[in-house]
Structure 1
Amino acid sequence: MALDTTSHHATEVQKLNQPIIWSNVIGILLFHLLAVYGLLTLPLLQIRWQTYLWGYFLYLAGGFGVAGGVHRLWTHRTYKAKWPLRIILLVCFSISGQNSVFDWVRDHRIHHKFSETDADPHNANRGFFFSHVGWLMQRKHPEVLRRGRQVDMSDVLADPLVRFHNKYFSLLKMLFCFFVPVVVPPLLWSEGWYNSAMGVGILRYVLLLNAAWSVNSLAHIWGGKPYDREISPTENVLVTWLTAGEGWHNYHHAIPWDYKAAELGPSTVNWTTYLIEMFSRIGWAYDLKTPSPDLIRRLVERRGDGTHYKWGAGIMGTAGITKQIDDEFQKWGAARELAEESQ
């Protein structure tokens, strides 16, 4: 196909033509091929029920490490956690097998501040595949790198547990994402090694990865926008079920400092929130941040798309109310990296 040679168009093409990281392409493709092979070859009816339960527990634990840990705690500082809970969250995050805490938090803070721009690591305007997994297969856009160097990460590095996790990241990832999950079923209830390696080791890992990636792709493309009709993120129930509560994404981008990452309406499912609240009852989680119902109502009536279950499409057009909303969201909004000292 002929390439438009106008200078403007050539510049746009060049901007999006980042070098491919072939090691990542091969690694991601290999894991997915192994997962498909596992689905085709595993004797699903012969696998012990304890193994299914163990795999589901690991899936939920990994999801809690991502949603409740690197996302709601370390990225957005929506609540504070004492050291026992932070250890649990770091172990759970290791189970998920994703990037280091430092890299995850930095990328996500940039994503919120520069959503759907060249500085967004997984810019949804570049299509489903790129926002889902393609962004991991190529070098970061120069704007992502430039903005990443400007993000204040001092609060994350101030946590000694995070520093320890970063130092031994690869070892902890191999230990909790692959070694422990795979060896437990054969040793404790005589599950077959192949069943454990392919089912608990590979298939569970790939499913959880795609669930986490769906927040960047599915929840930025399909769904309603009851809280802010002018942004890309949406409310996506499927993503919520896949990620234990992270699919209420239009709300989360509108109010990123809420520990619930959702309004918790009548149809809301949010297992991560329930766990955080459980830990708050024993004092391990505290200072949980959340907006008043009145602030949410004013946001919905001013910016929503009319699909909110309670307040619908009413529009508040007065300048005073609009300024009050904007002032509160400037104080707590997505553009601010909350540099609070870890407790």
Structure 2
Amino acid sequence: MTETEEGNARHRNGGAATDACTRDDVFDNTYKEKDGPKPPRTIVWKNVILMSLLHFGALYALCLVPSATSMTLAWSVLCFLVSALGITAGAHRLWSHRSYKASLPLRIILAAANSMAFQNDIYEWARDHRVHHKFSETDADPHNALRGFFFSHIGWLLVRKHPDVIEKGRKLELTDLKADKVVMFQRKYYKPSVLLMCFFVPMFVPWYFWGETLWIAYFIPALLRYTLVLNSTWLVNSAAHMWGNRPYDTGINPRENKWVTFSAIGEGFHNYHHTFPYDYATSEYGCKLNLTTCFIDSMCYLGLANECKRVAHETIDARVKRTGDGSIRSG
């Protein structure tokens, strides 16, 4: 692992950005929202119905938990962790921010885990996330937290995107994603990969290997687990942009939120992450409360990952003193 201080591209509020990232995830303070009334919200009723059915199914699944075997519950937790890593270590830290490099076997594993998470294919997820960082808390942000908790949590998926989100997304430089054969393979076969990884495998294993009923095997390891992963990810967009302290930069909305850190296996150090988006650990504390960082470190130890980007301690200390809210003392 290497410690680097960003050098060429400028980051928001006078910070710096890594040379490696010709950065589509650095805040663009030249963007100005258009004057006049906002475009009307167009509800996507298909998404409303599907999300409602999913959450009603998850509530029903909770009633089935006492009937499930301990093996099924343990399998559900494992599926939660695997699918969460497909987002956190995969779509987020690897493909969106390029904060470390992964070998082909690890990229294949993370792509399969990402399909288990079922939150759009890697290419689309990374594109939208880069737009989120580049235009955070503006009309061009896909889940702009200034539009309220419900919108930033799930509402943004129930309405048509703001025209600025679409326009800015089309202008991003995404050649790194297009050049990754694993990303493009997953994108091409995304629907069958989701059916296999998100629903069939979680259901089949407990039914086949230890005789769980198909009913429980579908509703708990598949449906309930999937719903919990979705909401854990969405909390990063909503709660972690609203509640918590801002020890690194008071000029941005994202916060440090320990509850989101727990539920999203390390993604709740959000003020730090938006201040230093290139840091593979998304936190200055390494593995502390950060299962995703522990996973990446393990992959480095096994030789499956390398070149993890890190922020120098002096850079963090200087930023805390210059733009932080005084809630912590770095170092």
The TM-score range, normalised by the shorter chain, is 0.7 to 0.9
| Pairing 1:1-343 to 2, within 5 Å after superposition | 11-12=36-37, 14-15=38-39, 17-40=40-63, 42=64, 44-264=65-285, 268-310=288-330
Offset at 1:309?
4.1
The C-alpha deviation readout for 1:297-341, integer Å capped at 9, x for no partner, is: 001000100011446xxxxxxxxxxxxxxxxxxxxxxxxxxxxxx
The C-alpha deviation readout for 1:181-201, integer Å capped at 9, x for no partner, is: 101101000111111111111
Offset at 1:100?
1.0
Offset at 1:251?
0.2
User: Do 2:115 and 2:194's aligned partners in 1 also have CA atoms closer than 8 Å?
Assistant: yes
For the residues of structure 2 that align with 1:310 and 1:102, how far apart are their CA atoms?
35
User: Do 2:85 and 2:114's aligned partners in 1 also have CA atoms closer than 8 Å?
Assistant: yes
Offset at 1:282?
1.8
TM-score, length of structure 1 as denominator length:
0.84
TM-score, length of structure 2 as denominator length:
0.87
Cα 1:265–1:187 change in 2 (3 A) is closer
Structure 1 residue identity aligned to 2:90: G
- Equivalent position SS for 2:171: coil
Structure 1 residue identity aligned to 2:173: D
For the residues of structure 1 that align with 2:262 and 2:86, how far apart are their CA atoms?
16
For the residues of structure 1 that align with 2:103 and 2:201, how far apart are their CA atoms?
25
For the residues of structure 2 that align with 1:300 and 1:255, how far apart are their CA atoms?
12
Deviating above 4 A after TM superposition, structure 1's stretches of 4 or more consecutive aligned residues are none
Structure 1 residue identity aligned to 2:48: V
For the residues of structure 2 that align with 1:118 and 1:173, how far apart are their CA atoms?
30
Offset at 1:102?
1.1
The C-alpha deviation readout for 1:143-185, integer Å capped at 9, x for no partner, is: 1011011111110010111111000001101100001110110
Structure 2 residue identity aligned to 1:119: A
For the residues of structure 1 that align with 2:253 and 2:278, how far apart are their CA atoms?
18
Offset at 1:18?
2.2
For the residues of structure 2 that align with 1:104 and 1:300, how far apart are their CA atoms?
30
- Equivalent position SS for 2:256: coil
- Which of the pair has more CA radius of gyration? 1
Percent of aligned pairs with the same amino acid: 46
- Equivalent position SS for 1:53: helix
- Equivalent position SS for 2:56: helix
- Equivalent position SS for 1:264: coil
For the residues of structure 2 that align with 1:235 and 1:192, how far apart are their CA atoms?
41
Number of aligned residue pairs: give it. 297
* Match of residue 329 from structure 1: none
Structure 2 residue identity aligned to 1:179: F
User: Do 2:114 and 2:121's aligned partners in 1 also have CA atoms closer than 8 Å?
Assistant: no
For the residues of structure 2 that align with 1:231 and 1:165, how far apart are their CA atoms?
34
Structure 2 residue identity aligned to 1:301: K
- Unaligned runs of at least 5 residues, structure 2: 1-34
Offset at 1:273?
0.3
- Equivalent position SS for 2:98: coil
Structure 1 residue identity aligned to 2:240: A
For the residues of structure 1 that align with 2:262 and 2:60, how far apart are their CA atoms?
25
Cα RMSD of the aligned pairs, angstroms, is 1.3
- Equivalent position SS for 1:149: helix
Offset at 1:265?
6.9
For the residues of structure 2 that align with 1:91 and 1:274, how far apart are their CA atoms?
19
- Equivalent position SS for 1:120: coil
